[in-house]
Structure 1
């Protein structure tokens, strides 16, 4: 985290506005609570102690010894005097013995089920072992155990449950290729209306996270925008409804134009329920659509440091913000043929020299069709000839139409001349016989 972000959090701490509290973590459940706290502890020094202490307390209620040791070690490097920075060896030994004992128990049960050759029991045995590995923090073993359930699933419901468990593990591992693969498996299964209603929001957010992870902001935006508002807290082991609003809104700002933002975001009755949870996202999108770009960027800048602490959004924040700012500058410049640098710097709340450097960079990358008059301090759009452009498009269209017409006339003449080459017709086979049997009959000698 940069110095600006650190100063932001230090000021909020001094004012007592914040911080990482039970309120933030209460939006989530399961392992993602600890993952998010550990990320804050690793990247934000002002909030690290509080986040790590919460993480240690949560981990001591679980059986995940490796992450407990990780949290304690990080806390000890920041605040060695804190009581929680010392490893509770008694708890560690007790939990390790318990984990080893339960591992032996579940493996013995699974071995017994395999001897009995009852598929349902074997499936449940793999599931119990996978749940045990997942709870103890061994994600790779959990993934293997869940995957082995596939050969013993006897109903579509079993495949659905297995795939959802694997998707949850793969999201934590960052293995989004497997996430997409199991999403496709679920989509190809026959589902009851009740199952469809339960699965639709989970599949939507899982697909959205996979697109977000690869930097495909447009597809991520469309997927989050289509997420049913029945998500609620049904999958807060992975994502919350607030996250859907933030991810969907930011990806839409980065990848959609103004008409799309109006029709697909602001007028989207389903996504509106999510936006109500994060009203600043709605305000930012509304300002962008209303061409109030500086107000939009100011809102995003206010929440930038919060997004830098998000486990899924952190590495995309700078890219998304750059895309939104570049789009804002391009959209601002569209109505003008010439605009002064001072007017643009004032419109975007920055100094003239910084604005000039930014515009030069955008022109070099081909994002802005303009040139800069450094003597008169003007930004001038490149001259275009709309009449010539229309003529060129018309000529290309006429050439395409002529070529298609010639090909169709040629085909008609070939057909009328009877020189068309047709593929041989497939011979019909009498009912009850195969092609091999027909060939044998034809090749057999005829006896009178």
Structure 2
């Protein structure tokens, strides 16, 4: 349903007259645009840009290179504030051309990354991260390097590379300073969620469950402490209750929401695998009781995960028993080596025949 423009007037004023955002929301049917308000916003933006251009001209005529750079940077930041993506990126390039210090160039990359995350432009984010890493080869301080880990971790999480995201987040727990992206409790929220589906139980205990930085904050996020500790302590009824409490927060998160269904499956795979790890066989009734659900629910759930190759077990429906058949990792590696070796020998034989001819 469209929202009246007058109801958004205060919000848009706080947003420093983001005319581009206002137009895009109107085009998307989110709110009703008001021509007079849009014209007022455009006028204010043009007036501010005129003032910034005057400062740039004055700096170029009367001041030094440092002042010229600062004037161009101020114009870049203003374009970011008013939501002018393309103009902001163009102005950042101009500012970079007047920047010598590696640290200052890194700060410009961070501004570009913020634009990329705001618009969810993953191509821009990926290129900016690669650029930042190249700048670090020229020299860079640890504070900015640690900040980059959080940016890259957020990019990995937003593109469903949860394992790498967890690793980068865990490396940044004690050095987190990236408050321009999100507060520390949100960072801990992301760290716990990505770690649960990425780390084995021993690593989870050492790096997450017992981490003092996480213990100091985890209680501020509803259901997160119960979610983590009930999983580690094998309290599966409590785990499912806490997980259901977190689902709404995951759905509302702009980075996690696109992967909601995938994350739900991965978490359930982890918890079912952990439960079955202790058994050679177990009754369906016992498992259903442990999770606080019905036998029919467990039967339907496990059959899907078994068919998808996520769980290594089979269901004896007649006896009402689950039998695990965990693969032997060493034997599986041996079989894969034999298969690849046969493939390589065949390729060599074909090549030798071609050479003989």
Q: State the TM-score, normalized to the length of structure 2.
A: 0.79
Aligned to 1:322: 265
Aligned to 1:261: 204
Conserved 8 A contact 2:224-2:246: no
Q: Tell me how far apart the structure 1 counterparts of residues 331 and 259 of structure 2 sit (CA, whole Å).
A: 38
Aligned to 1:281: 224
Q: How many correspondences in the alignment? A: 331
Q: Tell me how far apart the structure 1 counterparts of residues 105 and 247 of structure 2 sit (CA, whole Å).
A: 40
Conserved 8 A contact 2:306-2:314: yes
Over alpha carbons, which structure has the higher Rg?
A: 1
Conserved 8 A contact 2:312-2:327: no
Q: Tell me how far apart the structure 1 counterparts of residues 153 and 101 of structure 2 sit (CA, whole Å).
A: 28
Q: Where has structure 1 moved over 6 Å in runs of 4 or more?
A: 52-55, 111-118, 383-386
Shift of 1:104: 4.2
Aligned to 2:340: none
Secondary structure of 2:318's counterpart equals coil
Any residues of structure 2 matched to 1:6-405 within 5 Å, and which? 57-61=10-14, 62-69=16-23, 87=33, 89-107=35-53, 110=56, 119-174=65-120, 175=122, 176-185=125-134, 187-191=136-140, 196-197=142-143, 199=144, 202-229=147-174, 231=176, 235-278=178-221, 280-382=223-325
Q: CA RMSD in A?
A: 3.5
Q: What whole-Å deviation, never above 9, does each CA across 1:123-168 have from its counterpart, x for those lacking one?
A: 3343232122112211122122112322221223321321221221
Q: What whole-Å deviation, never above 9, does each CA across 1:66-118 have from its counterpart, x for those lacking one?
A: 323555787x87xxxxxxx6655444322211212333454566577678996
Shift of 1:190: 3.4
- CA separation of 1:159 and 1:59: change in aligned 2, threshold 3 A: same
Aligned to 1:444: none
Q: Tell me how far apart the structure 2 counterparts of residues 383 and 305 of structure 1 sit (CA, whole Å).
A: 34
Shift of 1:308: 0.8
Unaligned runs of 5+ in 2: 338-357
Shift of 1:326: 0.9
Secondary structure of 2:223's counterpart equals helix
